[in-house]
A and B are shown apart, each in its own frame.
Chain A
Amino acid sequence: MLFMPAEKRRSNTWFFSSFLVLIGIVFFSCTSEDCVSTVNNYLLVGFFKKGINQAGEHPEIDTVFYSVQADGNDVEFYTPGTTVSRLTLPVNPADNVTSFELTMLDSITYDSLNNPIYYINPNPHYITVSYHRSQRIISEDCGVEIAYSNLKINEITFDSTNLVENNLSRFNEVNIEIFF
């Protein structure tokens, strides 16, 4: 190195300085990939009074269900007698259309052993929605997520409804409002 021409030494200094800078850039730009997903497959259906309160809002109302099921899915999403003002309905991740059957309760009484007797409304309601799915790999370790967007109501048997949010997300926003 001592006998290297001055220009050559400058050139090598340049090389190694740049290499150090490069290592710094790579080090600081290597960030871990987080398993952050802002989407899920929950369709949120909210129940509201038709009239507005003093605040100018439609108040949520509790609704009692006997069963809530989806076509092609054996799982009962709610147990009989569940009272909710919002239903969380998981749409089918393998299809662009999902149909739900909502059976409501007219009333509940109890026998002498305190077992509930359900009086089921004979006219179940149906909600069929379609949506656009887009898949992505979040990271190699985290796996795949599906985002659901462009939600549309294909069929709904409730009289007064409103589609207010056409993306499914984890932010607990109601997608479909139903008014009684």
Chain B
Amino acid sequence: MIFSGFISFGQVGRYAPTAVKIGGDPGTLGYMIFSKKRGFFEAEADIDIDRFFIVANYGLSSFDLEEDTYTYENNGSYLRLGADVNLMYKDQHLNIAFFGLRYASSSFNDKLDYDTKAIIQSEIGWPSTRESVSNAKVKANWFEMVSGLKVRVVKQLYMGFTVRFKFMKKLNGIEELRPYYIPGFGKNINKSAFGFNYYISYRLPFRKKIIYIDENKKVIEG
């Protein structure tokens, strides 16, 4: 009985994966249509293991600024890996309220073109020139504490959101230009940042999920 939660011969254990959810952030479309400066695509997948989820996010990002005195371009990708704990693990509808931790990594390049005449806090007198600086390959990594909800709206379709607190950011590969934006992290202004994603995802079960409501009662969901 002690080891009843684990896989044994002829029996699927409590901690065997039961489903995969695959989805994306529909906010992507809004940014692509309405935002001139930011575009991104983010996909999410998780593996359902009892009350835990192994989660991965992958995103592609572009961030552009075009002002009178400067332009900035940033292109890159990011990957988040981590795990969530489902606080509603007894919910028979398989709704999810979770918190978790992520390790995130980002790789990007950026470029700044600017007029020296427009540098703030500078005594000029110097002829105005158009200067260009760039970073060929910057690596960034950070951690995230996450929390959110995923509600099963119909059949295996889920909608939800994730709130992120991003911290312990580190950057490598910076040359003269300090990046203004980090794909997946946001603006590189403070050491930490908040983030938010909406998700629509579809659950693909490949095994019956056993929900342990109490020691004597089990409910099996598809």
Residues of A within 8 A of B (CB): 7-8, 11, 14-15, 18-19, 22, 25-26, 29, 33, 35, 37, 39-42, 70, 72-75, 77, 88, 90, 92-94, 132-140, 142-146, 170
Contact A135 B112 (CB under 8 A): yes
Check if B129 is an interface residue, CB within 8 A of chain A.
yes
Q: How many angstroms between the C-alpha atoms of A18 and B69 in the bound complex?
A: 42
- CB contact under 8 A between A144 and B119, given known A75-B125, A136-B180: yes
Residues of B within 8 A of A (CB): 65, 67, 69-70, 72, 88, 91-93, 95, 97, 112, 114, 116, 118-127, 129, 131, 133, 147-149, 151, 161, 163, 176-178, 180, 189, 194, 196
Cross-interface CB contact of B65 among A74, A137, A170, cutoff 8 Å: A137
Contact A143 B112 (CB under 8 A): no
- CB contact under 8 A between A143 and B126, given known A14-B97, A33-B189, A137-B72: no
Contact A40 B123 (CB under 8 A): yes
Residue in A74, A77, A88, A92 whose Cβ sees the most chain B Cβ within 10 Å:
A92
Cross-interface CB contact of B70 among A72, A73, A137, cutoff 8 Å: A137
Contact A11 B180 (CB under 8 A): no
Contact B196 A26 (CB under 8 A): yes
Contact B70 A90 (CB under 8 A): no
Contact B121 A39 (CB under 8 A): yes
Contacts of B97 in A (CB 8 A): 14, 18
Q: How many angstroms between the C-alpha atoms of A39 and B122 in the bound complex?
A: 8
Contact A8 B123 (CB under 8 A): no
Identify the closest chain A residue to B65 (Cβ): A140
- CB contact under 8 A between A138 and B177, given known A73-B125, A143-B67: no
Q: How many angstroms between the C-alpha atoms of A88 and B125 in the bound complex?
A: 13
Identify the closest chain B residue to A93 (Cβ): B116
CB distance from A24 to the nearest CB of B (A): 11
Q: How many angstroms between the C-alpha atoms of A72 and B124 in the bound complex?
A: 12
Contacts of B180 in A (CB 8 A): 136-137
Contact A135 B176 (CB under 8 A): yes
